[in-house]
């Protein structure tokens, strides 16, 4: 459930097709994933999923997998 939502948010914020957000998606595979959009992504994920991502994690979340992991952690 969350993974689908995360991918949707990423696709909208980065303005890329949903299919391009694969499980291996990262800042290397998505050219639009720059530092400014990264901030928007974090804020949008928080808004959509009703979570608060700890500040120290924000900079680390550079792959889809890591985001999924931290969202899971935040929801615990």
Residues of the shown chain interacting with other proteins in the complex, contacts defined by CB under 8 A? 8-9, 12-13, 15, 35-36, 39-40, 42-44, 47-48, 55, 58-59
Q: How far is the CB of 47 from other proteins (least distance, A)?
A: 5
Instruction: List, in order, residues 6 or more apart from 12 with CB less than 8 Å away.
Output: 44
Q: How far is the CB of 24 from other proteins (least distance, A)?
A: 22
Q: Which residue lies nearer to other proteins by CB, 15 or 19?
A: 15
């Amino acid at each position: 459930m969350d993974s689908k939502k995360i991918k949707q948010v990423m696709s909208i914020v980065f303005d890329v097709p949903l299919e391009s957000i694969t499980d291996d998606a990262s800042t290397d595979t998505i050219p639009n994933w720059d530092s400014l959009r990264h901030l928007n992504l974090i804020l949008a994920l928080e808004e959509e999923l009703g979570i608060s991502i700890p500040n120290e994690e924000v900079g680390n979340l550079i792959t889809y997998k890591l985001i999924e992991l931290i969202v899971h952690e935040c929801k615990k």
